Structure 1
Amino acid sequence: MAHKHQSDLYKFHRPRINLRETPNPLKEESKACLRRLALYRSKPPKLKFPRSRCAAVLVALFVGRMGDLYVVLSRRSASLRSFPGDTSLPGGKVEPQDRTIEDTARREAFEEIGLPMDRHKAPLLCVLEPFMARDQLIVTPVVVLILDNTLRPILNRSEVTSLFSHPLAAFLSSESPFPHDPETTELPYHSYDDINWRWGRYSQSGEKERKIRMHRFLTGREAGGVKPVFGLTAAILIEVATIGYAQEPEFEVEAPDQPSQFERIVCAMKYTEHFREAQREEGLDPDKVPDPAKFRDHSRRRSNRRRRIRSRL
């Protein structure tokens, strides 16, 4: 069976959201955050990704009682083979029936936590540029706003143990949003590790090894066994918060000379065998993937686009 053209995955309807319809009144900063996210438009990928290596996660936001924005997070089942017990966003790989990457994110959220696929109850805000997940999958975040506060989760217990929420703005801060929690006073709310990038010397021999910064945020539920928000999930939520609140985090997001997400994607497609095999199976030529070094300034271009959004409000 021929695979659907990869670019079809990245076609979306333009969202129209009435912010007066939210279940709880919004703070002004929350209104501005949602407007910026709704204005954000990621550029279509410059390369054709192999569909079998594409995945999506749903960043489901909702309005709290005091008008702040929260994101829905899940605790993965301890019986899963990959990342058991981790704190994550609902998501998974593209399936043959998915017409767009938005369909993938919504389907996975429905299957994992029972979030209805009705786009009126959770309209699309934006789709971010893709992230590289440990050289295995190209993961695209899809951001929606839950407008129906009567929704109740239906957990697929084989995949998800529990659900909880976290303030979106807290992913820009070094200070805990739970200042009176004994667990968060003994440990730093935010921390990070810089890990070696596997393909850090692809462009020329003798190049200094490059690092990727992996962030960690406490959830305030660690005493109950919930793991911190870490790695890819943390990176995605930092990006969503940075776009929405139009401010940089209080900490350095990237390690010095850190490869951009797109540079990492291109590198995986060019050098990783499972990506090369997937491309060949879908009629793509991995030998035509460009030199990843051409995309070393991709993060800077993304930052410039965020600044243009700020100037429009």
Structure 2
Amino acid sequence: MLITDIERRLHKHQPRSIDTPLPEAAVLIPLVTNDQGQATEIILTRRASHMNKHSGEVAFPGGKREDDDHNLIQTALRESQEEIDLNPASVQILGTMGPVISRFGIKVIPVVGSVPENLSLNANIEELDRIFHVPLEFFTNLDNLQFHHWSMNDKTYSMPSYQYGEYLIWGLTAIMLVEFLNVGLNTTIPLDAPQFHASHSFTQNR
């Protein structure tokens, strides 16, 4: 998929808004782009096992907005530099997605950016234990998509997930990923998640 096509689709997209006043955060969805301008991979991380929150979980680089951040794009770039040593100057911002609500009551904005191939990245071991790349074609192959059932307020939701080798991509990360695939790559993966709404407390239903 050409980066120019993804950028065009993101600019045409009208993201939802959530007016509930909540703490804000942003993540970067980094698309590795080759010399022909094609997005080939997505960069993901795994949180270190000693972290108090999200330990061992797969995530996009990102974090809470700080007072000095001019906007949430700057938040995503600052956090990406802190977590994976990604120089903001190496990122071409393509657009943003609508907010989702984490289970901790934080409003998260996904920022989509293009980064060149063969960047030297380094994991901040205070927060991460791994940086890894997943081919985009893995996510667009529906044979790799799984759904798990979650319940909240007497309603059951089908939550997407992927198993890529040793990495389970699920939860809020999978939700943001699938919404990006639907908007930016024109996939049609079903997505009905409680995180799109201001009510964010839920429990897993096995």
- TM class, shorter-length: 0.7 to 0.9
The structural deviation recorded for 1:210 is 1.0
Pick from 203, 218, 221 the counterpart of residue 163 of structure 2: 218
Partner in structure 2 of residue 204 of structure 1: none
1:173-194 Cα deviation digits (max 9, x unpaired): 322xxxxxxxxxxxxx332211
Structure 2 residue 106 is matched with structure 1 residue 137: yes
Partner in structure 1 of residue 127 of structure 2: 159
Higher strand share: 2
CA 141–41 in structure 1, closer or farther in 2 if over 3 Å, else same = same
Contact 1:90 1:112 survives alignment (8 Å): yes
Question: For residues 64 and 167 of structure 1, what CA distance do their matches in structure 2 show?
Answer: 12
SS at 2:142 equivalent: coil
Partner in structure 2 of residue 235 of structure 1: 175
The structural deviation recorded for 1:171 is 2.7
1:95-124 Cα deviation digits (max 9, x unpaired): 111110111111110000000122xx2111
- Structure 1: unaligned runs, 5 residues or longer: 1-28, 176-188, 201-208, 273-313
Contact 1:55 1:91 survives alignment (8 Å): yes
Aligned amino acid, residue 108 of structure 2: V
Partner in structure 2 of residue 24 of structure 1: none
Partner in structure 2 of residue 127 of structure 1: 96
SS at 1:58 equivalent: strand
Contact 2:26 2:108 survives alignment (8 Å): yes
Question: For residues 88 and 31 of structure 2, what CA distance do their matches in structure 1 show?
Answer: 15
TM-score w.r.t. the length of structure 1 is 0.58
CA 65–234 in structure 1, closer or farther in 2 if over 3 Å, else same = farther
Question: For residues 81 and 96 of structure 2, what CA distance do their matches in structure 1 show?
Answer: 18
Question: For residues 169 and 77 of structure 1, what CA distance do their matches in structure 2 show?
Answer: 27
CA 211–64 in structure 1, closer or farther in 2 if over 3 Å, else same = farther
Q: Once superposed, what is the RMSD of the aligned Cα atoms?
A: 2.4
1:208-245 Cα deviation digits (max 9, x unpaired): x212322220112x1xxxx3111111111111111122
Larger radius of gyration: 1
Partner in structure 1 of residue 82 of structure 2: 111
Partner in structure 1 of residue 142 of structure 2: 174
Question: For residues 95 and 89 of structure 1, what CA distance do their matches in structure 2 show?
Answer: 18
Q: How many residues are treated as equivalent by the alignment?
A: 200
Percent identity of equivalent pairs:
25
Partner in structure 2 of residue 49 of structure 1: 21
Structure 2 residue 33 is matched with structure 1 residue 63: yes
TM-score w.r.t. the length of structure 2 is 0.85
Question: For residues 65 and 124 of structure 1, what CA distance do their matches in structure 2 show?
Answer: 17
Q: Which stretch shows the higher mean deviation, 71-80 or 31-40?
A: 31-40
Higher helix share: 1
Partner in structure 2 of residue 288 of structure 1: none
Structure 2 residue 151 is matched with structure 1 residue 196: yes
Higher RCO structure, 1 or 2 (CA under 8 Å, sep 6+): 2
SS at 2:179 equivalent: helix
1:236-292 Cα deviation digits (max 9, x unpaired): 11111111222313xx333xxx6571xx22x45xxx8xxxxxxxxxxxxxxxxxxxx
- Structure 2: unaligned runs, 5 residues or longer: 202-206
Question: For residues 81 and 65 of structure 1, what CA distance do their matches in structure 2 show?
Answer: 40
Question: For residues 39 and 72 of structure 2, what CA distance do their matches in structure 1 show?
Answer: 28
